[in-house]
Structure 1
């Protein structure tokens, strides 16, 4: 695209924006009018500035949530008294859009920027810079506008993905990868959730910790291993300053000795997350993993909104894939809900109750018998679920609940009222009832029924995880 003034698009804060070559020191004689902004519902948005005598050309640059590449429009003629740009990009709640305007006025160039935030379908102006006069060297004439000072060597189709601040994103770009080929887990990328989960009568029968025996890297794979406690009644359970609990630290970080209704955790395991290092909104995540195998084990391969913590109680979840660890388990209706049954989708909490948007796939073998590629493609209007490149479900409902960046969570837990609902299981199948005050003790006392099903396959093993822009 050729412009009648000298300008280039360079990376600024890691992203392409207008680089203003030279500034006049003389007093400003012209002020660019305020930008009029109108949302066009699902059809995109429209911006305009009123025409004034002396205006010759207008260049717009739009950057949404600091993602790249930016949207651009070059206007050479006003329309009905306004310099109008219509964009088909559909804005969402909490999106932030920066609008940069370049105006050629009486053969001189002026620039200004405005920032708008979409909040509950309303527009808020958060920043409006003053107009600046810029010029070009006298010997320069027509030049081309392009990214990064060079012509693109390959086409870049703008991605809807929002990732790191200022990062330019093209569809198909690899945004995150861990192949676990280092000697130890990268603790800069992955943080541990450290707390016990039995403080609520409907919670899980496990304590998450960062012990080496529960999570480690070996031969290019991440292992998350649940281990059974040797005793549960002697002494007290105290995590001290290591505890990462958010909701109820007084309950999640310790268990008092001699409490009638509670015991120390019968199982220890690990849960890791990228909340502090990587998150994204919209994209394709692929996790190659072997799920855990053993009665009442449950894997977490999921995304969670950045506004929550990994320790948040009843947090919304995008579950990339899960299958119960049991080799043989049927519901009251005789549906196979064992580890042969794969699920993926969304969990949304509404007034303390779970609303589930799930898709499923039944296999002839347990998903803990071998590695599989579990994929979730998260778009603005759809979530696609895949296993080994086969699509087994698409979701359209529930997406408005996930309108922010999410981070990755890997973990293995035990039990849980949502994971193993008493209402769908025949009586006396489970060695405990979810809402019994001493559920953890009942589970422990019946360990002879479930402990033999655990073994070397009770770990979840992750070969790699990759996230691509969509």
Structure 2
């Protein structure tokens, strides 16, 4: 296990609906949806740093639990993102609300990638109904022209942005990660208000990041595939984005079994834990400010007015999804199964070059193994 601080333009190790009137519970509404929450008895409630939608929580209280029971998502809790991938990563996917790519059954959330038809990708038009991206942009509407093809992969991403956000707490996600070339699981916390700016200026916390390739190495022959897991944070400006991570290696890969991925998020400390592994921190109280720890220069430091862990001193929400490819997560010149990565980051034909190589990477995708399985998500107050 090792801690790293690196540039994200490729980073590796250097590095409940409720019935009103239930006794003892308070009914409240948010965006037209009713919830119940048991009121706290402040004289018996231990002081907690955790805030839920801006309200105080009791120390050790379970403030969120999702076990994915039944046969559908809880509409009052989760919403699908519907858009084509925006900056900064420009993944090669369309996130949509489709039961073929996201479903709940057998006690699991299941998200898997599917391919569109070649003719549609090369000459069709993608016009997303109820798009959650920026209207009238390529996030919502796009027509294929020449080498500017449509995103070839359909996937899913769900969030609690409209129902649940919190600041500080212990988050555990029990999941089985997907395997398959160029597939990436998304198990994130994202900022709700984006106080520090758009994109990654307001940060992102990744609980479990592992590239799905089974035999992926850098040009220096460092292994960065499914055996190599990173947990950490990403933050930055449009000009410079950095990451700080905990890295864990597992010989049989992070796709072989379910694992508990845990974040302990405190006002002056951010730590991660996997199963029974020892807890490791990416910032401690004595480390000073996070932006300085990552060595952002003063001219790039837009978080000076925040706390020591800014931008991670605001309300965040939960995101679960699956992406493929993109411009940030796979280094140029990496080699997968003896073959070079088929696209160059930031190249105008990157998505086309990726698609043209599908005979090689698609055969590594297996229906079950290439599916992200989420068993349970819990959040407790500190």
Range into which the TM-score falls when normalised by the shorter chain: 0.7 to 0.9
1:88-107 map, 5 Å: none
Alignment partner for residue 289 of structure 1, among 163, 171, 175? 175
Q: Please give the per-residue CA displacement for 1:127-167, whole angstroms capped at 9, x wherever unaligned.
A: xxxxxxxxxxxxxxxxxxxx57xxx6xx532111011454x
Q: Distance in 2 between matches of 1:363 and 1:370?
A: 11
SS in 1 for 2:359: helix
Corresponding residue of 2:351: 440
- Asked whether the 8 Å contact 1:201–1:435 carries over to 2, the reply is no
Matched, 1:160 2:49: yes
Corresponding residue of 1:336: 223
Shift of 1:308: 3.8
Q: Please give the per-residue CA displacement for 1:360-416, whole angstroms capped at 9, x wherever unaligned.
A: 111111111111000000011111111113235211135222111100000100012
SS in 2 for 1:452: helix
- Asked whether the 8 Å contact 1:214–1:268 carries over to 2, the reply is yes
Greater fraction of residues in strand: 1
Matched, 1:180 2:68: yes
Alignment partner for residue 191 of structure 1, among 55, 79, 102? 79
Corresponding residue of 1:131: none
- Asked whether the 8 Å contact 1:318–1:347 carries over to 2, the reply is yes
Q: 1:313 to 1:381 in 2, by over 3 A?
A: closer
Number of equivalences? 318
- Asked whether the 8 Å contact 1:255–1:263 carries over to 2, the reply is no
Matched, 1:269 2:155: yes
Q: 1:202 to 1:161 in 2, by over 3 A?
A: closer
Matched, 1:250 2:137: yes
Between 294-303 and 157-166, report the one with greater CA deviation.
Answer: 157-166
Shift of 1:423: 6.2
Q: How big is the alpha-carbon RMSD for the aligned residues of Structure 1 and Structure 2?
A: 2.5
Shift of 1:351: 3.2
Structure 1: gaps of 5 or more residues: 1-10, 15-67, 70-146
1:62-461 map, 5 Å: 147=41, 156-166=45-55, 168-197=56-85, 203-231=90-118, 232-240=121-129, 242-246=130-134, 249-257=136-144, 259-308=145-194, 313-314=199-200, 316-391=203-278, 393-396=280-283, 397-398=290-291, 399-422=309-332, 429-455=340-366, 456-461=368-373
Shift of 1:353: 2.4
Give the TM-score normalised by the residue count of structure 2: 0.77
- Asked whether the 8 Å contact 1:190–1:273 carries over to 2, the reply is yes
Q: Distance in 2 between matches of 1:370 and 1:386?
A: 16
Structure 1 runs (4+) greater than 3 angstroms displaced: 199-202, 312-315, 423-428
Shift of 1:421: 2.2
Q: Distance in 2 between matches of 1:293 and 1:208?
A: 19
Q: Distance in 2 between matches of 1:203 and 1:263?
A: 13
